[in-house]
């Protein structure tokens, strides 16, 4: 994992309109990042639009790996599991 400042990034939660191409691109990038984490036996743990930044290059970046989960985004029995990441991804998309 990297710790870096992402200049001029927007939270996916705050973007009011996205094109179909952006939606497909970002969904693929988020899915690929989650698959990468799971391949390394890591869990994102708090998948929600507020924890996805869109950087200046127009790419999705996952943030907030501090643990915990946000009510309403994943079922409580899935907190901190691979299933929570997949459920959160589904709800983001």
Residue 65 DSSP SS3? coil
Domains contained in the chain, CATH given? 10-92 (1.10.510.10)
pLDDT tens digits for range 5-44 = 888 899 999 999 999 999 999 999 999 999 999 999 999 9
What pTM was computed for the model? 0.88
CA gap 9, 57 in Å, rounded: 9
Contacts of 34 (CB under 8 A, 6+ apart): 44, 47, 62, 85, 86, 89
Q: What is the mean pLDDT of the chain?
A: 89
């Amino acid at each position: 994992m990297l710790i870096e400042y992402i200049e001029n990034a927007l939270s996916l939660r705050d973007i009011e309109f996205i094109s179909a191409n952006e939606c497909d691109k970002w969904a693929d990038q988020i899915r690929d990042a989650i698959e990468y984490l799971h391949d390394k036996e890591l869990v994102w743990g708090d998948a929600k639009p507020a924890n996805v930044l869109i950087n200046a290059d127009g790419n999705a970046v996952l943030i907030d790996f501090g643990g915990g989960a946000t009510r309403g985004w994943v079922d409580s029995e899935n907190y901190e599991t691979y299933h929570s990441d997949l459920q959160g991804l589904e709800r983001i998309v």
